[in-house]
Each structure stands twice: as C-alpha cells, then as structure tokens.
Structure 1
Amino acid sequence: MNKSNHKKFAFIGHPVDLNHLYILLGFWGWFAKLLPRAMLYKILLRLPPYKYCSFKKLMSKTGATASGWTIICPLLPQQVAFLKEEDVIKKVIQAVELAEKMGAEMAILGGFTSIVGNEGEVISRHSSIAVTSGNTYTACLAIEGIEKASKEMDLDLKQAIIAIIGATGDIGSICTKIFSRKVRKINIAARNERKLNIFADNIKRQGTCQVEVFKYTRDAVREADIILTVTSAVSVLIKPEDIKPGTIICDVAIPANIAKEIVNMRDDVLVFEGGLSKPPFEVNIKGKAKKAMPPKSIFGCLSEGMLLALEGKFENYSIGRGNITEQKIAEMFEIERKHGFSVADFFCGYKIFSKEDIKCIKRNAIRKKEGVNFAAK
C-alpha cells in the first residue's frame, strides 16, 4: 500500500437513542443506565467528543485505499433539537478539531450533527479540513433503493403515488425534484407550511406529475404506493395502520420515523432503512462497536466520506442548505460505480429481506387487497 496516496477521514457520529448511547459508552454504559435522565443529559453536555472505532484497510475496486475513525459527539437527537444551536455547534466543532488532530483530511457530519449551522456550513467555516454532511450520497441511495424496491414489488413507477415526508429538507427536496419526473403523483409534507407551498409551486413548474401538499403526515401517506421519510423529527411519525397493503416504505430518518415493529405487524408492506450502502470491502468492526452499525452495510453519510476519500476529492461537498444539485447526484452515482459501492440489501430493525421474503410480502398484499380473510386460510 502506497502510504503517500492513502487517504484518511473521520466520521462524526452521535447516539440515536438511549440504548444506542449505552452501547457507545462501552464500560460506562451500565453506569449511565443508573443515572436520572436530567443528570445524564447534563453530563453528556460536558462530555467531550471521543474516538470510538477505526476503519482500516478500505480498498475500492480501483485499488485506491483509505482509512478512518468514528468520533462520537455525545449528544442525543432531542438535545440537538432543543439545546441552543451555538452550544451544539461548539461541540461539533470540537469533534472536527479532534478529527484534524488525528490526521483526517475530511470530516463527515453524521445524523443530527449535520443539521446545525445552516446544514454544516458554519462548521465548515471553522475547519481547516474538508467537511461534508454525506447528504448527496444518502439521497442517491434513497433513490436507488426505491427504484430497486419498485422492481422487486412489480410496481410501475410511472403510475405510482409517492409521499415524501420532510420534502423541503436537503435530501427530501432533491428526491422530490427527481421523482417528480418519474411518478404519477407526489404527496409532500413538512413542518413549515409556507416553505412547503412555495416548494410545491416550484415542483409543479419543473416536474411532470401532480403535486399535492398535506399538513399532516397521516393524510399524505394514506394513498401512497411509496413513502419516503427524510425528516429530523425525534419521534415516530407513521404508524402501521396508516399504510395501505403493498406499500414500499423507505425510512432514511435517524432516529427512525417509522416504528420498527411494523415488520412484525404488517407482513403486506416492504419497509426498509434507506440511505444504506454496500461497500466492495468488509467493514472490519469488532465488539460492541459492531452493534452500532447496520449489518453488512454502512450509513450513506459515512459512505459519502469514504467515497470522497477514495476519490481524493477533499472539498466541502454536501454543505449548506439547498446545495444538493442533480449534477452532484449524477457525480456521486458515477463515483459509486467507479469504486464498486452499491445500495444495501433491504433491511429493517434486525431483519434483512431475502427475495423470498419480498415474494411473500407481494402475495400477502394481493390477498389483503382482495379482502381474503387470513384466519380462514
């Protein structure tokens, strides 16, 4: 391995919930479980970012190599959402500074660390190394996953209705633009109604499909053949009873916007965690660190950092609100193919869906649509 060409990156992550936090704290996780919630939150606010695990000997199909680290920014999503933004920014900047000290040439802002400071733009101004949120490649993987799922479920995209929840966000807006030329109708929902209506008008001018704005998520998803959730909400937005049989659900949000129990409660829908990639190498993570990663796949934001490092493209890539363009989406698809990455297998909770599983989902959906009484079968 030519060390002069060997690139280094750092992924800035955070716990997505309390159980995830206990894993990330390792030996101290048992102690954290004993603390009152308010005291734990105060301790997390004072706890500095720290190195969690390493990624070694990553080699793309071109022979390019890279390595990196995960740095934990110890804040829960609800803390990021409700603390003063300057306090969160300060902690994320500390994590990026640690990445630089460790020798990283790029910092990847994972999860909620990317939504503060104008989608990472403020953090990038305080950094002497390149910064990316990973949102461009995450959007690519969401698009790729939905298209793959549609083929598996025999759904004609041109006749489909897609609901995009969080449509005005970075990932949601670019996915809406792209799918507006691929589907029959788009139902969009987001927290800011004024912003959503302005965005809908723009999509109606640019796209070729019908666009409908919804105030409530539940109403937006009722008729949908496909649901894409890309919000920064800290709670579940979609319940099993809200979804019609045969629906494809791609949940990109971390924490999840859809209850993972849906896999056990609804055997007639295909729900998967979107924005996950399958790299051309084994990600060699051992011990408790492995529990913090999805099986046989890696997060899209982390994947973008890996791809940019392998490409030697150290620049502020997915940074700033509204800067994910269709040109960048096309570029990331090209970089993905070049280095041998692909969309991950369909996965939700603790289950990886096989082709036979998907066939069963299709059969169950057909039966339910036809009103067959399962109990009588």
Structure 2
Amino acid sequence: MVFSSGDGPWFAFLTHPRDIADLTRWKGSRLMREYSADDDDFLRKVNTMEPVVIGDLLFGMGGPRGELVGVMRMPDVLLKDGGREAVAEGLRVAAARGAKVVGLGAWTAPVTAAGRTLLHGAPDGVTITTGNAYTAAVSRHNVVEAVEALDLRRQARVAVLGATGSVGVPASHLLVQEGFDVTLIGRTEGRLKVTVGDLAPVARLTTGLGHLREADVVLVLTSDKTSLVRPEHVSDGAVIIDVAQPVNIPRSSHDLFEAKGVCVVEGGLVRIPGYRSTYDLAITDPYSTFACLGETYLLSRDGAREHSVGPIEPSTSLRMERIAAWHGVRPAPLDLADRRLPRTPPEAAAAAS
C-alpha cells in the first residue's frame, strides 16, 4: 500500500484494473504474482483483495494532492455480486485517508448506478462525483475538433454509441445543440425513449451498429461486450473517438482500422496544470488524464459539497466546462496528426466510381 507523507489528500479517485497489464504496473502485484501458481491463481487473489492506495496525484509544488484508490476487482468480477460493496469499501478507505471529494473511475460508476447506491451510508463530509458532467463536455469538444479536422464542407454526421448512459445523455444533447446530424445508438428502444426520447424530433434513435457506417465521426461511450466496434462497422475515412474505460477498441486493434483509413483516437482526456501521477494510467499522452478525474480535482478545488451522481443535465456539463476553464483545465487535443485531409462525401465518392 502506498502512503504519502504530510496532510491527507484533498480528494481520491477510485479506479480498478482494466486488464492484467494494469496489474503489472501496480508495484504490489510483483510479490503476489511471484507467489501465485499461474495467471488464474494470481487473478483469483487480486479479486479478493481489499481496496489499496496505488498512487499519488500531484499538481505542482504546494498544490492540491489526490490519491488513486484501487478497487481490486477485474471488470468482469466488478459487474457481479459484490462489485457494489467493493466500490463502497473503496469509498470508505478514501474517506478514512482524509479525502473530501471522491471520484468514480471506469466501471465503479456504472456498477453503483452512477454513484447513487453509494449515497446511503456515505461517510459524512465526503462529496461523491462520477465525473460524467465534465466528461460529456469534453466529449462534445472532441467531436467538434474531429469534425473541423475532416473539413467536410457540409453538415457532419455524428453517431453516439452508448447514448443512453450517464455520459451519453448529456453529450447527445450537447452535440445536437452544435447542429450536427446526430444518430443516437443504445441497446434497447425502450431505454432510448426514456433517456433521449426528447431528441427524437432532431436526431435518429436506433439500436443497430449498422448505422455507424453512415457517420463521419463516431463517439464511443461504452465498452459493453454487445457493443464492441469492429472495422466493418464504420466507413472508410471516419474518425472514432473512444472515450470508454475500459476502452471499446484496444490499441492492438488500431492497425486494423487504420488499414481502411479509419482513425481511432483516445477521447475524454484533459490537461491539468502541473498534473503528475505516480501510477501509470496507461494514457498515450503523459501530460493528460481522464476528464472524470479532472472533475474530481475541480470539485475539490472549489470545495464542492453537493454530490454529482445520477443523471446529468447538459447545463451541468456546461457549468463544469466553465469551472475547468477558470482553473486552467483544458481538453487534451486529439491525436489527429497527418489525418487532417478533407473527407470525401459518400455521395461524391459514389459519383466518382
């Protein structure tokens, strides 16, 4: 367990191992792996561990300090019985360490109903946030950046995969407000009607991945196994912005997409002045971190006492965006280098052939 000297942290950010590579970056795993018979035995031991502090989050000399608290459950185990209690225990560990704001990372938010199940019995004086409000605003910014890079000279077609989720709902509203031709994709028609049904007059609502082929930009907000994106799902020249954690499209598969001219980039990332993490979160850009972690930082800076859990209003996302700008926090630029060529409209490509 990592303990830092000095006063307790301003905030804590709960995360969990997304894959076995995450575990190998945690120093405490080395001894445990050494005394495990094989990978299965190693994972079995990890999945029964109590939450531990796995790293510090630093923001310049004398600035605020946060801690990363690892909820030691692999994604498939976290979704099963006991996952919610494991996250709740992580919250208690963070509070005992002195954190006044606790953020939920990766699947610790979905398994707790966007943080709502944690409210009952939450430690006194601790504010809980999913980070979804700022993530939605940053996702909107990412899409705008990608559309500008494509230089379409027509209305951009944007598909939102995971539109019914806690990030998807406010992000969908913000993208419609931007004036894009938006397709909202969810798992069921009923869920779509309940969460984004008010957008039906101005956006397409569908449950099929086949509609991804019509999009210039695909915003991916889910890593659900039934919604994994493959190269054949998208059209040549499209940009995919993967905001999901764990990611929907592993980096090892990016070459398959690039072979057909599809650019896959990490989204939902921000840059915070002076930011440094002592634990490697496996983000390509070492100066960036997750927007949900950024929101946790921002709420601790502002001394927030109101929980940010459950459904998020688009206006809340815009407010978080303004707070972020005030504190010098900005969306990290997308890795679109060498891909800023105009995208040929499908109708023009068909005419040329």
TM-score (norm 2): 0.86
Tell me how far apart the structure 1 counterparts of residues 11 and 183 of structure 2 sit (CA, whole Å). Answer: 38
Asked whether the 8 Å contact 1:77–1:234 carries over to 2, the reply is no
Moved over 4 A (4+): 365-371
- Counterparts of 1:297-336 in structure 2, within 5 Å, are 297-317=288-308, 319-320=309-310, 322=311, 324-336=312-324
Tell me how far apart the structure 2 counterparts of residues 293 and 53 of structure 1 sit (CA, whole Å). Answer: 15
Tell me how far apart the structure 2 counterparts of residues 108 and 200 of structure 1 sit (CA, whole Å). Answer: 25
1:70 equivalent to 2:61? Answer no
Tell me how far apart the structure 1 counterparts of residues 36 and 172 of structure 2 sit (CA, whole Å). Answer: 41
- Counterparts of 1:193-204 in structure 2, within 5 Å, are 193-199=189-195, 201-204=197-200
Find the partner of 2:116 among 114, 121, 139. Answer: 121
| 2:3 paired residue number | none
Asked whether the 8 Å contact 2:131–2:291 carries over to 1, the reply is yes
- 1:199 Cα deviation from its structure 2 partner: 4.1
Tell me how far apart the structure 2 counterparts of residues 141 and 123 of structure 1 sit (CA, whole Å). Answer: 25
Q: Which amino acid aligns with 1:106?
A: V
Find the partner of 1:290 among 280, 292, 295. Answer: 280
- 1:111 Cα deviation from its structure 2 partner: 0.8
Q: Which amino acid aligns with 1:43?
A: K
Q: Which has the higher helix share?
A: 1
Tell me how far apart the structure 2 counterparts of residues 94 and 261 of structure 1 sit (CA, whole Å). Answer: 33
Q: Which amino acid aligns with 2:129?
A: T
Q: Where do 5+ consecutive residues of structure 1 fail to align?
A: 348-352, 372-377
Tell me how far apart the structure 1 counterparts of residues 35 and 173 of structure 2 sit (CA, whole Å). Answer: 44
Q: Per the alignment, do residues 184 and 110 of structure 1 end up closer, same or farther by CA in structure 2, a change over 3 Å counting?
A: closer
- Counterparts of 1:1-377 in structure 2, within 5 Å, are 8-24=10-26, 25-28=28-31, 30-31=33-34, 34-37=37-40, 39-58=41-60, 65-81=63-79, 83-84=80-81, 87-128=82-123, 129-155=126-152, 159-199=155-195, 201-205=197-201, 209=202, 211-217=203-209, 219-234=210-225, 237-265=228-256, 266=258, 268-285=261-278, 289-290=279-280, 292-294=282-284, 295-317=286-308, 319-320=309-310, 322=311, 324-347=312-335, 353-354=336-337, 357-359=338-340, 362=341
Q: Per the alignment, do residues 33 and 193 of structure 1 end up closer, same or farther by CA in structure 2, a change over 3 Å counting?
A: farther
Q: Per the alignment, do residues 29 and 242 of structure 1 end up closer, same or farther by CA in structure 2, a change over 3 Å counting?
A: farther
Q: Where do 5+ consecutive residues of structure 2 fail to align?
A: 1-5
Asked whether the 8 Å contact 1:236–1:259 carries over to 2, the reply is no
Render the CA deviation track for 1:47-91: whole Å, top value 9, x for unaligned: 0000111123447xxxx931111010011111122x11xx11211
Q: Which amino acid aligns with 2:265?
A: F
Q: Which amino acid aligns with 1:215?
A: T
- 1:32 Cα deviation from its structure 2 partner: 7.9
Asked whether the 8 Å contact 1:277–1:300 carries over to 2, the reply is yes
Partner-residue secondary structure (3-state), 1:126: coil
- 1:110 Cα deviation from its structure 2 partner: 0.7
Render the CA deviation track for 1:80-121: whole Å, top value 9, x for unaligned: 22x11xx11211111111111111111111111111232111
Aligned length: 338
Tell me how far apart the structure 1 counterparts of residues 225 and 16 of structure 2 sit (CA, whole Å). Answer: 14
Q: Per the alignment, do residues 256 and 316 of structure 1 end up closer, same or farther by CA in structure 2, a change over 3 Å counting?
A: same
Partner-residue secondary structure (3-state), 1:301: helix
Asked whether the 8 Å contact 2:56–2:67 carries over to 1, the reply is yes
Asked whether the 8 Å contact 1:189–1:213 carries over to 2, the reply is yes
Q: Which amino acid aligns with 1:143?
A: R
Asked whether the 8 Å contact 2:146–2:239 carries over to 1, the reply is yes
CA RMSD, aligned part only?
Answer: 2.8
Tell me how far apart the structure 2 counterparts of residues 262 and 370 of structure 1 sit (CA, whole Å). Answer: 27
Q: Per the alignment, do residues 20 and 179 of structure 1 end up closer, same or farther by CA in structure 2, a change over 3 Å counting?
A: same
